[in-house]
Amino acid sequence: MTIRPICISGNPVLHNRASEVTVFDENLRELVADMFETMDAAPGVGLAAPQIGVAKRIFTYTWTEDDGALKRGVVINPVLEIGPISAEMPDEDDESEGCLSFPGYRFPLKRAERAIVTGVDLDQNPIHIEAQGWFARIFQHEYDHLDGTLYVDKLRDEFKPEVEEIKQEVGWGIDGLSWMPGKDDLDA
Ligand code: ZN
């Protein structure tokens, strides 16, 4: 297994729709193993394949619920169903999200409280997961990556100038930038 560099906002792979997985082979297994290792090293609670430069519809997740239950896995070719999203102002403390492809920052964003993810695993067995709260948020965040959307693209208008300022300040928004978990300290 290999930790792979994580693409930063501006790399086209993060801003375009990823394609369905059609070949389930040893390469796919290796890719998913690398995704788990990269996610854990970052560390992050989720990682989508485009974040390591692979334009495929795959994400991994790892999340411990309040009751201690560990939710960890991979979803290939996911389909996401979500509940309603409140139009209210998101809470800065409880609803601030971060992203390994926009590392070191957090912004509040409303998400649906509930989500259902279906798809397949590495052996093409069907997956059906019902999630609530942060677990549901992770699925929504990772799924968006597969459609070329970063959470910062979805923020309310009042946060957009700050996002643009950050991009300018740190020089993001151009192709070819990445960071290496375990080597670059980005304190995401
Ligand atoms: Zn992300």
Tens place of pLDDT per residue across the chain (188 aa) = 899 999 999 999 999 999 999 999 999 999 999 999 999 999 999 999 999 999 999 999 999 999 999 999 999 999 999 999 999 999 999 999 999 999 999 999 999 999 999 999 999 999 999 999 999 999 999 999 999 999 999 999 999 999 999 999 999 988 889 999 988 765 54
Q: How many helices (H) and strands (E) does the chain have?
A: 3, 9
Distance 151 CA to ligand 1 centre (A): 7
Distance 126 CA to ligand 1 centre (A): 24
Distance 141 CA to ligand 1 centre (A): 6
Helices (H), 108-159: 133-146
Distance 48 CA to ligand 1 centre (A): 7
The answer to whether residues 78 and 57 touch, using CB atoms and an 8 Å cutoff, is yes
- The residues, ordered by sequence, that sit 6+ positions from 45 with a Cβ below 8 Å of its Cβ are 39, 61, 62, 63, 134, 138
Q: Which of 30, 92, 130, 142 is catalytic?
A: 142
The answer to whether residues 57 and 77 touch, using CB atoms and an 8 Å cutoff, is yes
Say what the pTM is.
0.96
Distance 149 CA to ligand 1 centre (A): 9
DSSP 3-state percent helix, strand, coil across the chain (nearest 5): 30, 30, 40
Distance 170 CA to ligand 1 centre (A): 18
Q: Please confirm, yes or no, whether 142 is among the known catalytic residues.
A: yes
